[in-house]
Structure 1
C-alpha cells in the first residue's frame, strides 16, 4: 500500500524539515500517487492532511496570542526605559522634577522627584526590585531587545504557518480532485463495458 509507505511524516521525527523554531514543514504533494495508491487510501490521507491543517491552525493561534502579548509589552518596556534614561540624564540636577504620574487608568497624582541613583522596577507577579539607574537601563535594554527579537520571530513563524496551511489545503484539494478523476475513469470504463455487452 503506497500511502502506508510514503505518507507524510506527522510524528515529528527528526528527519522532517522544520523552521528555526521547530515548526515542521508541510509536505508538498506534487504527485498524488506518492500518497495514494487506490481510492481506499483517499479517506485516511485526507484525514491525516486535515489533522495537520488543524495542528498548524492551533500553532497559528498560539503564535498570534504570543504576538499580542509582545505588542503590549514592548511599548511598556520602551516607556520605562525612556523614563530611566531621563532620570539618568537628570542625575546631576539640583532641582527636583515636577511630574504627574498614573496611579490607575483614570487617577493621577503630582510628585516632585529629586535626583536619584536608584529606581524601582516591576518585574511581574507583584514583585518590585531596586536597581541602580545604570543597571536598570542595561536590564531594560536587554529585555526590550529580547522582546523585539521574539516579536520578529513570531511574525516570521506566523508567515511560515500560513504558508504551511496553504500547502496542506492545496494537497488536500489535489487528493480530492485525484479521487474525482478516478471515479470518472471507473464510471467511463463501466459504461464502455456495458456498451460492449449490449
Structure 2
C-alpha cells in the first residue's frame, strides 16, 4: 500500500491548496502497484487543478466582459448628475434600432440589477453603488489573476511529480529486468 501524499502545508487566501512536491518517489511507492496508485492519485489532483484553472479563467473572462458596461453606466450617471438642463440624445432600442429622445434634468436613475430586476436610485446612491460594484469587479479580477498564477505553479508541480513517478517506474522495470 503506498504511503499517502502529505496534506497541503499551505493554501492561498481563497483556499486553494498548494501541491506537494515529491522529493523521492521511493518514499511513497515500494513496487509497481503502489506507483500506479500514486500516479492515479497525482493525475486526479492534476485534473482538479486544471479544472480550477479553467473555471478561474472563465470567471476572469466574465468579469472583463462586465467591467466596460459598469464603467459606461457609471460615466452615464456622472453625466446625468452634471446636467442641469434638458438635452437631446439617441439611444439604442435593439442591436440595430435607435430612437431619439429629449431627457429632462433628473435626480433619479433606474439601474438593472440582473434577473430582470430594475430599481430606482437617487443619482448619488447610484454612483456609489456603481463605484462599489466596479471596485469589487476589479478586485475580483486581481484575485483571480493571483489564483491563476498560483494554479499554474501547482499544475507544473503536479506535472513534474507525475513525470518523476513515471521515470521511477521505468527505472524499477530496468532494475527488475537485470
TM-score bucket of the superposed structures, by smaller chain: over 0.9
Match of 2:159 among 144, 169, 175: 169
In the alignment, the residues of structure 2 paired with residue 103 and residue 157 of structure 1 have an alpha-carbon distance, to the nearest angstrom, of 39
**Contact 2:5–2:20 (Cα < 8 Å) also in 1:** no
Give secondary structure in 2 for the equivalent of 1:98. strand
1:65 corresponds in structure 2 to 58
Alpha-carbon distance in 2 for matches of 1:106, 1:154: 35
SS at match of 1:37: coil
Q: Distance in 1 between matches of 2:70 and 2:107?
A: 20
- Residue number among 131, 139, 149 corresponding to 2:129 in the alignment: 139
Identify which of 164, 168, 173 aligns with 1:183. Answer: 173
Distance in 1 of aligned mates of 2:69 and 2:22: 45
* Matches of 1:141 and 1:77, distance apart in 2: 8
Task: Name the counterpart of 1:86.
Answer: 79
RMSD: 1.4
Distance in 1 of aligned mates of 2:123 and 2:82: 10
In 1, the alpha carbon distance for the partners of 2:115 and 2:5 equals 47
TM-score by length of 1: 0.85
**Secondary structure of 1:106's partner?**
coil
What aligned pairs does 1:1-198 form with structure 2 within 5 A after superposition?
1=1, 3-4=2-3, 6-9=4-7, 16-90=9-83, 93-94=84-85, 96-188=86-178
**Deviation (angstroms), 1:16:** 4.1
**1:135-165 CA-partner distances (Å, limit 9, x unpaired):** 0000000000001111111111112111111
How far does the alpha carbon of each residue in 1:152-197 deviate from its partner, in whole angstroms, 9 at most, with x for none? 1111111211111111011000011011111112222xxxxxxxxx
Greater C-alpha radius of gyration: 1
Count of aligned residue pairs for this structure pair:
178
SS in 2 for 1:69: helix
| Structure 1 moving runs of 4+ over 3 Å | none
The alpha carbon displacement at 1:24 in A equals 0.9
Deviations 1:75-110 (A, max 9, x none): 1111000000111111xx23x121111111111111
Unaligned 5+ segments in structure 2 are none
